[in-house]
Chains A and B, each alone.
Chain A
Amino acid sequence: MSKIVKQEMMGMNGDTACAYAVKQCNPEVVAAYPITPQTIIVEVFSEYVANGEVTTEFIPVESEHSAMSTSIGAAAAGARAYTASASQGLALMYEMLYIASGLRLPIVMTCVNRALSAPINIHGDHSDAMGARDSGWIQLYCENSQEAYDTVIQAWRIAEHKDVLLPVMVNIDGFILSHTLENVAVLPDDAVKKFIGEKKIPVVKKPSGELTPYVLHPDYPVSMGAIDLQDYYFEHKRQQAEAMKNALKVIKEVGEEYGELTGRRYGLIDAYMMDDAEIAIIVMGSTAGTAKYAADLMREKGVKAGVLRVRSFRPFPRDDIVKTLSKVKACAVLDRSISFGSYGGPLFTEIRSSFCYECEKPIIINYYYGLGGRDTPPNLLENVFSELKRIVETGKIGEEIRYLGLREDSIDSVNYKAELISFKDLNTGNIGGK
């Protein structure tokens, strides 16, 4: 299309791509605390500030809790506010995530997905963001650094849309995306500025009919964050549910408009060779790239394999997913986090329940994979496709919940179990037999 603007290719890792996008968006306030693997975002952005490339007020806060609190204060005062975090940092700001969304503040955050302690691990998985999946934030998961750049820019439009007004979390896989150099096509500064537009202030109507801007401004004495009891709290949560529902449409619209500008279209899901697929892998984040490669290899062998990448986990695009998978015979949902004690990972349970009352539905199995940055190479994903093929051929499902890339266990070993002794036994050295 002729409308596509000329873009420059830049070698960047995922973190830098995010920081670069934020620079072009030039938000009024960035408040962030460094944490591996997000640190580069904070460092690179600090350089932009030091070199006068942005007019942003950068606040190197003393914790992630304050990063989100400061973003809330800034957004409430009418500013665009951006932050970035990961893992323990996201966990520390957990309380404030709910407050940002409950106050309907369109904050944008990059979450560089990393495992949660203990044991401490700095590498990629989705445990951090999955812990925040009910926090009222829109959650978008990126496949590569290009998408990270593109999504940070789109995030403002989604967050600030009048039918949404919710914070957006842009998720990128720790190290695999954050620290890996990639060619990223970047828009000219003015094109980004034009795309995101001027920051608008929502105006709301009181039951009396009086209009009030929803912002902390001296001329309008609004009160935000009041105590909301049995009589109204539920109503406000209902409003949030509606905003999340509206976001389904807005994410698509913004992704389409961005596509017109850049040639890169985005939606709620990304279906790869799904039109005639008989077996499929459903996955989020960077592993989708590997899965697509594995699907290509299967296709070469004449197997009708496809990949469904879920880009938007919140809001959950239930209808799009059901439509895409309804003709598939068997599929495997890959979860990069464990909801301990749950029957399957968060993505799996949600997809399975989506099919509950559907007549046409695939066999759905679940794999946990990649925890703590465990590598998931193409051959493992080929194995998943082979297993799906076997299930289709034999009709035998076997284990529904499985682990991908976990070492084979020896059934004889019980070292993972414990015996119990009394505290006093420590003094006598009586800690049991061999």
Chain B
Amino acid sequence: MSVVKPKDLALTEERLAPGHRLCPGCGEPTTVKLVLKASDDPVIVCSATGCLEVSTSIYPYTSWNVPWIHSAFENAAATAAGVEAAIKALKRNGVYKYDKVNVLAVAGDGGTYDIGFQALSGAFERYHRIVYLLLDNEAYMNTGIQRSGGTPSYASTTTSPDGKVIPGKLQTKKQISRIMVEHEPAYVATISAAFWQDLIQKSKKAFAADGPAFLHSITPCPRGWRHADNLTIELCRLAVQTCIFPLWEAEKIDGKMVYKLSAPSKQIAKNPDKKKPVVEYLKLQGRYRHLFKPEEKTELINQIQEWVDTEWDIILERCGEK
């Protein structure tokens, strides 16, 4: 696919409008507006309950320049499946004007890893032609930063707080995108707004896919991660550079899911020296502050590094880089 020129991207119609009430520096709107720009065809958006939904639809206002529906928290994929099915049937009955309409389901980590997983898994198994965008800010931010299946180890949340005995979340982050690959859909990719060229290319592939596509975005939350508002994109970048959130895609080719690294992750695979230590990513975030203060908890930081290395190895292996 051809490279998108920055000016062309800047001038592409905005499908998400200003005046939304997401926090300053929120990672969500950048990803959402970019993914929406990647579709050349009309898009209908089905939002799960969450920050994006409440902040873009405070009645009587809306920030959506495209048709948009929110019904509940755990069912973005099922609602999107209904929209897709309706369009299919209306086309069959000869009353639909458009040949191709993209249906985009958007949900956070709560609506994807946890409460919404059943609906997501079902919709992917049934092979609806929908694009599912996961905005992973690694906790239930809308209700005030509670742990989710997507919260990484030792991150402090309001339901996995760092206490005198327990240093934040004790479990590891669920590998949701690999689980989605095992559904053998048309397309799965991880994206980071920092690498917008990669994000646009993958979104285009997702919209062009002839079956379900899953886009997993690392989405910093200045409130929940307790980082400075201006560091949102830098954290998106560091997540990739440290390999805690590698960029890859898996495409169904001849019935088989083929993994492939992209952008900096591909370069890191070729040149492992480029892989930054995860501590660089952790130290910018207040949710990991207890790992550094009052004294540095080297053992816990090392455990996170080991986890990152193990998961990175798995990805390298899947991508045939090992």
Using a CB–CB cutoff of 8 Å, the interface residues on chain A facing chain B are 28-29, 31, 55-57, 59-63, 65-66, 69-79, 81, 95-96, 99, 103, 216-229, 231-232
Closest residue of chain A to B101, judged by CB?
Answer: A218
Tell me if B101 and A229 are in contact (CB < 8 A): no
- Ordered by A's residue number, 26 sampled pairs between the chains whose C-beta atoms are within 8 Å are A28-B89, A28-B90, A29-B86, A56-B89, A60-B126, A61-B81, A62-B119, A63-B119, A66-B78, A66-B119, A70-B85, A74-B83, A75-B82, A77-B44, A77-B83, A79-B82, A99-B72, A217-B67, A218-B98, A219-B97, A221-B68, A224-B69, A225-B70, A226-B60, A226-B62, A226-B70
**For residue B72, which residues in chain A have a CB less than 8 angstroms away from its CB?**
69, 95-96, 99
Could you say which residues of chain A place their CB within 8 Å of the CB of B87? 77
**A61 adjacent to B122 (CB under 8 Å):** yes
Do A227 and B58 touch (CB < 8 A)? yes
A79 touches B90 (CB 8 A): yes
In whole angstroms, what is the CA distance A232 to B58 when docked?
Answer: 11
Which of B64, B82, B101, B122 is in CB contact (< 8 Å) with A29?
B82
- Which of chain A's residues have a CB closer than 8 A to the CB of B88? 57
Interface flag for B298 (CB, 8 Å): no
Task: Give B169-205 interface residues, CB cut-off 8 Å to A.
Answer: none
- Please judge, given known A-B contacts A79-B90, A223-B62, whether A31 and B118 are in contact too, CB under 8 Å: no
Partner of B66, one of A73, A95, A221: A221
Interfacial chain B residues near A63, Cβ < 8 Å: 118-119, 122
A231 nearest in chain B by CB position: B59
Chain A's nearest CB lies how many Å from the CB of B15? 9
Cα-based distance from A59 to B122 in the complex (angstroms): 10
Residue picked from A70, A78, A220, A221, most chain B C-beta under 10 Å: A70
A226 touches B58 (CB 8 A): yes
Contact B122 A66 (CB under 8 A): yes
- Asked whether A223 lies within 8 Å of B57 as measured between CB atoms, the reply is yes
From A78, A218, A220, A231, contact of B86 by CB (8 A): A78
| Contact residues in B for A227 (Cβ distance below 8 Å) | 53-54, 57-59
**A216 and B79: CB pair below 8 A?**
no
Contact, CB under 8 Å: B62 / A81: no
Q: Which residues of B contact A60 (CB under 8 A)?
A: 126
Q: What's the Cα separation between A63 and B42 when bound, in Å? A: 29
Q: Contacts of A56 on B, CB cut-off 8 Å?
A: 89
| Closest CB in chain B relative to A355 CB, distance in Å | 39
Please name all residues of chain A whose beta carbon is closer than 8 Å to the beta carbon of B67 when the two chains form the complex: 216-218, 220-223
The answer to whether B80 has its CB under 8 Å from any CB of chain A is yes
Which chain A residues lie closer than 8 Å to B70 at the CB level? 224-226
Residue positions of B touching A, CB distance < 8 A: 42-44, 46-47, 53-54, 57-62, 64-72, 74-75, 78-90, 92-93, 97-98, 101, 118-119, 121-123, 125-126
**Contacts of B66 on A, CB cut-off 8 Å?**
218, 221
B82 touches A72 (CB 8 A): yes
Whether the pair A223, B64 counts as a contact (CB closer than 8 A) is yes
Specify which chain B residues have a CB less than 8 angstroms from the CB of A29 in the assembled complex.
82, 85-86, 89
Q: Is the CB of A69 within 8 A of B79?
A: yes
With both beta carbons as reference points, the residue of chain B lying nearest to A216 in the complex is identified as: B67
Residues of A within 8 A of B64 (CB): 221, 223
Minimum C-beta distance from B102 to chain A (A): 10
Taking A81-B86, A223-B57, A227-B54 as known contacts, 19 extra A-B pairs with beta carbons closer than 8 A to each other, sorted by chain A number, are: A28-B86, A31-B82, A56-B89, A57-B86, A57-B88, A62-B119, A62-B121, A66-B75, A66-B122, A70-B82, A72-B82, A73-B78, A74-B83, A74-B85, A75-B82, A77-B83, A221-B64, A225-B69, A227-B59
Whether B125 pairs with A226 at a CB distance below 8 angstroms is no
A46 to B: closest C-beta gap in Å: 14
B78–A69 touching, CB < 8 Å: yes
CB distance from A269 to the nearest CB of B (A): 34
Whether A61 lies near B78 (C-beta < 8 A) is: yes
A25 to chain B, nearest CB (A): 13
Q: How far is the CB of B133 from chain A (nearest CB, A)?
A: 16
Q: Which residues of B contact A70 (CB under 8 A)?
A: 78-79, 81-82, 85
A73 near B60 (CB under 8 angstroms)? no
Chain B residue nearest in CB terms to A105: B71
Q: Which of A31, A78, A103 contacts B90 (CB under 8 A)?
A: A78
Expressed in whole angstroms, the minimum distance between the Cβ of A211 and any Cβ of chain B is: 16
Please give, as numbers and ranges, the residues of chain B lying within 8 Å of A226 by CB-CB distance: 57-62, 70
Closest to B42 in A: A218
When distances are taken between beta carbons in the complex, the residues of chain B under 8 Å from A218 are: 42-44, 66-67, 97-98, 101
Given the interface pairs A225-B71, A226-B58, A226-B70, the reply to whether A57 lies near B118 with Cβ below 8 Å is no
The distance from the CB of B129 to the nearest CB of chain A, in whole angstroms, is 12
Given A99-B72, A221-B64: A73 and B80 interface contact (C-beta under 8 Å): yes
Cβ A73 vs Cβ B69 within 8 A? yes
Please indicate the chain A residues that have their CB under 8 angstroms from the CB of B79 in the complex.
69-70, 72-73, 76
Of chain B, the residue at the smallest CB distance from A100 is B71
Contact of B71 among A81, A96, A222, A232 (CB under 8 A): A96
Q: What are the residues of chain B within 8 A of A79 when measuring CB–CB?
A: 82, 85-86, 89-90
* Distance in angstroms between the alpha carbons of A225 and B61 in the assembled complex: 12
Closest B residue to A232 by CB, please name it.
B59
| Most chain A CB within a 10 A radius of its CB, from B46, B69, B92 | B69
- A224 cross-chain contacts in B, Cβ below 8 A: 68-70
The listed residue (A62, A76, A99, A232) touching B83 by CB distance below 8 A is A76
B93–chain A nearest beta-carbon distance, Å: 6
With A61-B122, A62-B118 known to touch, is A74 a contact of B82 (CB < 8 Å)? yes
Most buried by B among A73, A77, A222: A73
In the complex, chain B residues whose CB is within 8 Å of the CB of A220? 67
Could you tell me the distance in whole angstroms from the C-beta of A264 to the nearest C-beta in chain B?
Answer: 29
Q: Chain A residues with Cβ under 8 A from B46's Cβ?
A: 73
CA distance A28 to B93 in the complex (A): 8
- A residues near B90, Cβ cutoff 8 Å: 28, 77-79
Contact of B119 among A28, A55, A57, A65 (CB under 8 A): A65
Chain A residue at smallest Cβ distance from B44: A216
Hey, which chain A residues are within 8 Å of B93, CB to CB? 28, 55
Q: Is the CB of B86 within 8 A of A73?
A: yes
In angstroms, Cα B67 to Cα A220, docked, is 7
In the complex, residue of chain A having the shortest beta-carbon distance to the beta carbon of B87:
A77
Residue of B whose beta carbon sits closest to that of A29? B85
- Complex interface: chain A residues within 8 A of B53 (CB): 227
Task: Give bound CA distance, A75 to B64, whole Å.
Answer: 20
Which of A63, A66, A219, A224 is most buried by chain B, counting CB atoms within 10 A of its CB?
A: A66
How far in angstroms is the closest Cβ of chain A from B50? 11
With the chains together, A218 CA to B70 CA distance in Å? 16
- What A residues does B82 contact at CB under 8 A? 29, 31, 59, 69-77, 79, 81
